């Protein structure tokens, strides 16, 4: 089935990316905003057909929200600790469609529960490609930031922080929205926000002070996006690092986000390095299909 190549799809909450892969080569790709929340009820078959129309009539390996409740076909959440072979064994196979959906992962401890979809492919891909070790601390920024621990090549636990979604909600529906249109960048306002978020005070109160500071002149309108981003990321780091061991953090994902989280981690004294999420995903897709051949 895989001799002529395949299409790998990373189907996120708000965006979608697809690649046509032939061995070690990427023969075509596209990205759009047809994320999970943008696909209408019953619309996944047409959305999947659209992918093949653009990249070819090839087998599909799909990761992410396509396997969520309300997606194309539900794929299970596999409990941690989770390794790559168990992930592959849990693939949902749609034989008539020549398609496979990667399952997600789950973690439970007492009353704490967590799930993820899509990031597992990047985590295992990073290990397979040597982008991180079999023992690694991973920060994966995105709509829902993930803090993950790999031990012996297994995903043993993780935690989600809704930092990206919170920023988007503030940007589109809060009293700060008019000042959040500019791009957040590392610098003095961002660092000030990180320091304040890292202190662990009441985030909802700190967010209101942003408006007050602009009105009173101690924070400029063009500084708000960077300050708020730093404030949220600082609080994110405080939560995410609270139950992880010391050591280097691998910041994995898209450059615009990994750059901010890397700067914040450096500020709070944690060694870190950035890994390209696309490279990790493609390596994960190849590692999965190799085990299906």
Which tops the pLDDT comparison, 185 or 70? 185
Cα distances (angstroms) measured from residue 12 to each of 39, 63, 116, 130, 264? 11, 8, 11, 24, 25
Task: Look at residue 150 in the predicted model and tell me its pLDDT.
Answer: 98
Q: Above pLDDT 70, what percent of the chain?
A: 99
- Average pLDDT (90-119) is 94
Name the class of domain 161-275: alpha beta
Answer yes or no: is pLDDT of 293 > 80.
no
C-beta atoms surrounding 4 within 10 Å: 10
Burial 243-252 (b: 16+ CB within 10 A, else e): ebeeeebbbb
- pLDDT band, residue 14 (cuts 50/70/90): confident
What mean pLDDT do residues 153-159 have? 97
In the Cβ-directed half-sphere of 15, how many Cα atoms lie within 13 Å?
Answer: 9
Tell me which of 95 and 266 has the higher pLDDT: 266
99-101 vs 104-109, strand pairing mode = unpaired
Domain with CATH 3.30.420.310 in the chain: 161-275
What confidence category does residue 233 fall into, taking pLDDT thresholds of 50, 70 and 90? very high
188-202: average pLDDT = 96
pLDDT in the model for residue 18: 97
Q: What does the pLDDT average to over 17-27?
A: 94
Q: What pLDDT does 73 receive?
A: 92
Position 36 confidence tier, pLDDT thresholds 50, 70, 90: confident
CATH 3.30.420.300 domain extents, the chain: 6-132+279-292
At residue 222, the pLDDT reads: 97
Which CA distances in Å does 100 have to 45, 59, 288?
A: 14, 8, 10
Q: How far is CA 293 from CA 8, 117, 132, 252, 276, in A?
A: 15, 23, 25, 28, 26
Q: For position 13, what pLDDT does the model report? A: 83
CA distance 98 to 1: 8
- Which residue has tokens 């490279």? 279
Residue 154, helix vs strand vs coil:
strand
Q: How confident is the model at residue 243 (pLDDT cuts 50, 70, 90)?
A: confident
Average pLDDT of 63-82?
94
Taking 90 as the threshold, does the pLDDT of residue 201 lie above it?
A: no
CA distance 163 to 146: 10
How big is the CA angle at 120 (ends 115 and 123), to the nearest 5 degrees? 130
Residue 15 has pLDDT above 90, yes or no: no
What token pair was written down for 68? Answer: 């969520």
d(CA 113, CA 106): 8
pTM of the model: 0.94
147: confidence class by pLDDT, cuts 50, 70, 90 = very high
Q: How far is CA 245 from CA 110, 137, 253, 257, 275, in A?
A: 20, 8, 21, 23, 20
**The pLDDT of residue 4:** 84
Mean pLDDT, the chain, rounded, equals: 95
Q: Which pLDDT does position 97 carry in this prediction?
A: 85
The confidence score (pLDDT) of residue 273 equals: 97
Tell me the pairing of strands 16-22 and 25-32.
antiparallel
Question: In the structure encoding, which two tokens stand for residue 85, read together?
Answer: 């072979």
For 141, the token pair is: 């920024």
> Three-state SS for 82?
strand
Question: What contacts 130, CB < 8 A, 6 or more positions away?
Answer: none
| Distance in angstroms (rounded) separating the CA atoms of residues 280 and 156 | 19
pLDDT at 196 over 80: yes
Domain at 6-132+279-292, CATH homologous superfamily = 2-keto-3-deoxy-galactonokinase, substrate binding domain (3.30.420.300)
249-253 sheet: strands from edge to edge: 154-161, 145-151, 136-140, 249-253, 272-276
Cα 274 to the chain's mean position, in Å? 14
């Amino acid at each position: 089935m895989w001799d002529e190549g395949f299409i790998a799809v990373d189907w996120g909450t708000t965006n979608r990316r697809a690649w046509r892969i032939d061995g070690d080569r990427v023969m075509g790709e596209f990205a759009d905003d047809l994320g999970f929340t943008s696909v209408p009820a019953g619309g996944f078959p047409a959305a999947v057909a659209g992918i093949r129309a653009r990249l070819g009539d090839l087998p599909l390996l799909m990761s992410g929200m396509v396997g969520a409740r309300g997606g194309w076909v539900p794929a299970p959440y596999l409990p941690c600790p989770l390794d790559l072979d168990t992930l592959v064994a849990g693939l949902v196979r749609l034989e008539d469609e020549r398609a496979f959906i990667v399952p997600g992962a789950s973690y439970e401890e007492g009353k704490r529960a967590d799930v993820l979809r899509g990031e597992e492919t990047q985590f295992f891909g990073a290990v397979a490609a040597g982008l991180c070790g079999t023992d690694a601390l991973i920060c994966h920024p995105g709509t829902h930031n993930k803090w993950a621990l790999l031990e012996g090549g297994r995903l043993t636990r993780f935690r989600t922080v809704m930092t990206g979604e919170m920023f988007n909600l503030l940007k589109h529906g809060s009293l700060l929205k008019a000042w959040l249109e500019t791009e957040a960048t590392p610098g003095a306002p961002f660092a000030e926000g990180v320091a304040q978020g890292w202190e662990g005070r009441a985030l909802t109160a700190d967010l209101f002070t942003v408006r007050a500071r602009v009105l009173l002149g101690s924070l400029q309108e063009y500084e708000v996006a960077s300050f708020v981003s730093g404030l949220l990321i600082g609080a994110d780091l405080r939560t995410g690092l609270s139950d992880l061991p010391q050591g280097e953090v691998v910041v994995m994902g898209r450059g615009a986000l990994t750059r901010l989280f890397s700067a914040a981690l450096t500020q709070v004294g944690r060694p870190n390095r950035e890994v390209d999420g696309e490279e990790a995903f493609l390596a994960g897709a190849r590692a999965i299909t190799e085990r299906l051949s």
